[in-house]
């Protein structure tokens, strides 16, 4: 049961949503989301959806078709119940959890329910990552219409200290949104670095971002790297490794997804291979 009219929470993340599936690492993402909920005093919302799939058998009798539909619905409901069991097994002791599920297409169901959340935690889905099954969500699809920050977690990540944070800065609408959305993490971080890489890095207004963060009580360094030997995302990942950062903050798809697909880009590369959590906003 969701509570209405509770006292306001002193948290930038009053509610955290984690989509569930039956793929690898589902419980780990609940553990990660739970650890954040406990840190920020947030409501934790577990959510799952699955379409029912009826096998096509050609021209069958109406009664047989109806039976197949019922069986498919039943199977989908059983899968959703398994997802709920994972969620409650990990987070059931927490004092503010909500479960939402439906026999529907996962992406629009989660997008519609994201209005109830401040941030959504999902699995990285690189080409070498384990598949997430029919309830799984592709981060690249989700972030485009989410209207909320998306936290993308690599496999096996169960906690996020966010003590050392890198901001992948380009002067775009998406990056500005991401910095604002990441403020609850930034205010608690031990070290924050604004990193500008690639051509035109020096003209991206990083010093304005540092001044803006200072007004919010966040002390940040600026690292401008116009001359890089590798792709921008790889340079950023290398910076994260050198600084032992565990969170990258980045705008998502400042260029069109088609352009990134054809020419490559920061968002696609981070979603493919970032070894640490990434907070992204579009």
Residue 250 pLDDT: 97
Please report where in the chains the tokens 């403020």 appear, as a residue. 183
Identify whether 10 is part of a domain.
no
Residue 9: inside a domain: no
pLDDT tens track for 169-189:
999 999 999 999 999 999 999
Give the rounded percent of residues in the chain with a pLDDT score beyond 90.
80
| 2 assigned to some structural domain | no
Rg from Cα positions in the chain: 20
Residues 6+ apart with CB under 8 A from 190: 163, 164
Q: Are residues 99 and 128 in the same domain?
A: yes
Last residue of a domain, one of 129, 152, 175: 152
Q: Which of 152, 187, 209 is the last residue before a domain boundary?
A: 152
186 within a domain of the structure (yes/no): yes
User: How far is C-alpha 51 from the chain's CA centre?
Assistant: 22
Are 144 and 260 in a shared domain?
A: no
Show the domain range for 96. 15-152
For the question of whether the overall pTM of this predicted structure is more than 0.85, the answer is: yes
Same domain? For 51 and 128 the reply is yes
148 and 22 part of one domain:
yes
Shared domain check, 177 and 99: no
Do 116 and 214 lie in one domain? The reply is no
- Give the pLDDT mean for 25-36: 98
- CATH number for the domain harbouring residue 63: 3.40.50.620
Per-residue pLDDT tens over the stretch 203-251? 999 999 999 999 999 999 999 999 886 788 999 999 999 999 999 999 9
Q: What's the pLDDT at 65?
A: 76
Tens digit of each residue's pLDDT (9 = 90 or more) over 40-78: 999 999 999 999 877 666 655 455 578 888 899 999 999
Query: Would 209 be classed as within a structural domain?
Result: yes
User: Within this chain, do residues 169 and 268 fall inside the same structural domain, yes or no?
Assistant: yes
Beta strands in 36-163 (DSSP E): 43-49, 97-102, 119-123, 150-153
Q: Per the structure, how many domains does the chain have?
A: 2
In a domain, 3, yes or no: no
4 in any annotated domain: no
**Mean pLDDT across 111-121:** 98
Q: Does 159 reside within a domain?
A: no
Domain end point (choices 118, 152, 186): 152
Asked whether residue 23 falls in the same domain as residue 107, the answer is yes
Tokens of 108: 């629009």
Do 137 and 85 share a structural domain? yes
């Amino acid at each position: 049961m969701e509570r209405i009219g509770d006292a306001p929470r002193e948290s930038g993340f009053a509610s955290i949503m984690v989509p569930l599936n039956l793929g690898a690492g589902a419980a780990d993402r609940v553990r990660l989301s739970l650890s954040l909920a406990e840190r920020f005093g947030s409501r934790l919302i577990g959510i799952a959806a699955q379409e029912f799939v009826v096998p096509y058998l050609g021209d069958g009798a109406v009664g047989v078709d109806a039976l197949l539909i019922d069986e498919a619905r039943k199977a989908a409901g059983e899968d959703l119940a398994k997802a709920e069991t994972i969620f409650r097994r990990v987070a059931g002791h927490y004092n503010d959890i909500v479960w939402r599920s439906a026999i529907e297409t996962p992406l629009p169901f989660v997008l519609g329910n994201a209005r109830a959340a401040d941030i959504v935690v999902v699995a990285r889905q690189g080409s070498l990552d384990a598949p997430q099954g029919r309830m799984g969500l592709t981060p690249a699809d989700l972030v485009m219409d989410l209207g909320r920050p998306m936290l993308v977690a690599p496999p096996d990540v169960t906690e996020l200290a966010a003590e050392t944070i890198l901001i992948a800065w380009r002067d775009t609408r998406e990056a500005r949104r991401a910095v604002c959305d990441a403020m609850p993490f930034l205010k608690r971080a031990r070290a924050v670095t604004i990193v500008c890489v690639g051509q035109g890095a020096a003209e991206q207004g990083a010093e304005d971002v540092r001044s803006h963060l200072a007004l919010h009580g966040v002390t940040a360094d600026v690292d401008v790297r116009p001359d890089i030997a590798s792709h921008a995302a790889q340079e950023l990942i290398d910076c994260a490794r050198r600084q032992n950062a565990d969170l990258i903050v980045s705008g998502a798809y400042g260029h069109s997804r088609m352009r990134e697909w054809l020419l490559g880009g920061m968002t696609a590369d981070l979603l493919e291979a970032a070894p640490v959590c990434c907070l992204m906003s579009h």
